[in-house]
Amino acid sequence: MKKLIAIVLLLNVVFVNAQTDEEKLTTTIKEFHQSLVKKNIISINQQTEKALSYGHSNGWVETKTEMIKNLETRYTSYKSIKEDSLQVVISGNVANARFVGDYEVSLNGGNTVVYHLKVLEVWVKKGKRWLLFARQAVRG
């Protein structure tokens, strides 16, 4: 009887801790956005693909190198990012994430502005990790 209870408890722990790919990616997306706010360059570097294309709602597109440089120099400064209605669709090792986001940001030390955006992010899975490959936003 003790063995049965131990097995049931162990299985319960395994099932509770098991996340689906969608849940793991959702967590990764939220962590990435908070890394932008916190200017955690190490984390951003680890969460993005080398060939990143980071598109903004005004048509401005940054490479990974440009995005990191603009964060380091505080040319781009994210104050907060809030996602709403996040939907993730995975096909093999590629996923798209769509959401509505409120981005509080300042450029080049100017006034802080809140942008209400519709965002599409494309993520690729490398090994066990999801990396941001592309992002595009439009004003919503």
Q: What is the mean pLDDT of residues 105-123?
A: 95
R_g of the chain computed on alpha carbons: 18
Is the C-alpha dihedral spanning 30, 36, 40, 44 positive or negative? positive
Element (H, E) at 64: helix 64-72
Q: What is the pLDDT of residue 21?
A: 87
User: pLDDT digits over 55-101, tens only?
Assistant: 999 999 999 999 999 999 999 999 999 999 999 999 999 999 999 99
Q: What is the pLDDT of residue 109?
A: 87
pLDDT the model gives residue 18: 56
3-state helix, strand, coil in the chain (%, to 5): 35, 45, 15
**Contact indicator for 52, 67 with CB cutoff of 8 Å:** yes
Domain architecture of the chain: domains with CATH: 20-139 (3.10.450.50)
**Given a cut of 80, is residue 110 above it in pLDDT?**
yes
Sheet strand arrangement including 76-91: 61-63, 48-55, 129-139, 113-126, 94-107, 76-91
Average pLDDT over residues 18-29: 89
